[in-house]
Amino acid sequence: MIRRIVLICSAGVSTNMLVRRMEHEAARLGYPCSVTFYPIQEVKEAAQFADVMLLAPQSAFELPEIQVKYPNVKSAVIPKDLYASIDSVKILDLAQKIAGDY
């Protein structure tokens, strides 16, 4: 099964780079997943696609509402330090843990 990871952000500049790095890391690990990003305004569409939603730190205040509206999608906020450094290894690890893949 291919895990569908969606990153939720406000602008998308850093997130686009993070998506590419996460895809590269997943390929290196042999972890079957797709990584995409949606702006926060399109969270409803993202939830229809996602197994896991990771929110950029600037969208953290949206998490409680997302968890209520979309209880079947596992979601969390990416820690500020990981997002700022675009640490794809640790963010992919976070997605895997939230998904229950280990």
Q: Which residues pair with 36 in a beta bridge?
A: 6
9 is catalytic: yes
Q: Which among 5, 8, 9, 43 is annotated as catalytic?
A: 9
Residue 83 vs residues 7, 22, 70: alpha-carbon distances, Å:
11, 12, 23
C-alpha distances (whole Å) from 75 to each of 28, 30, 38, 94 are 24, 23, 14, 10
List, by residue number, the catalytic residues.
9
